[in-house]
Amino acid sequence: MPQPLRLNAVALISPQNHPILIRTFQKGDELKYHYVAHTSLDVIEERTSGVPKPAECYLGLLYVMDDVAAYGYITPLKMKMVVALALTDSVVRDVDVIAVFKALHMAFYRAVSNPFLKLDATPESSTDYSPYQVVGSVKWSRLRRKIDEIHRALGSYATS
């Protein structure tokens, strides 16, 4: 039986390459996973440049750093997702990683589809405003809870 995935961090990155939510599950390593998210942008850009429209959202393994493997996913609207998984001795199946990304994509989709969120409201103080910058705010607590549920589901999968 293959070992289950151990999710260390999730990063949501806007189409303008601004990390908008980096959720870590390892205490004390927050800065490390910010670095993983930023470094992943270079690899994602390299893989998607020159391709008019990527045929598949899943970008696969982006790179490995120390004890972390970074996997990438890009939505049709150019929203990027990066998942940092703990390295283990077992083989990581792409099917399992794709299932995690699809769950994250659906959680983000549901959060954006909330009719009570004002994504088009621009603050008066900023001229360079992206509506995705507010994803980390308190109004997006439901998205963070869904990400935590996905993390817990992978953990419960580990015990079954």
- The pLDDT tens digits of the residues spanning 79-108 come to 999 999 988 877 888 899 999 999 999 998
Question: Which residues are CB-contacts of 46 (< 8 A; sequence separation ≥ 6)?
Answer: none
For residue range 2-54, list pLDDT tens digits in order.
567 888 999 999 888 888 888 898 888 889 999 999 999 999 998 888 766 65
Averaged pLDDT for residues 124-146? 61
Classify domain 7-120+128-157 at the CATH topology level.
Beta-Lactamase (3.30.450)
Q: How do the domains of the chain map onto residue ranges?
A: 7-120+128-157
Nearest to 20 by CA among 30, 10, 12: 12
The pTM for the full model equals 0.81
Distance CA 49, CA 34 (A): 23
> Does residue 115 carry a pLDDT above 90?
no
Averaged pLDDT for residues 128-143? 59
* 156 band by pLDDT with thresholds 50, 70 and 90: low
Q: What is the pLDDT of residue 159?
A: 39
Averaged pLDDT for residues 56-63? 91
Amino acid, res. 154? L
CA dihedral 56, 14, 134, 113 (to 10 degrees): -20
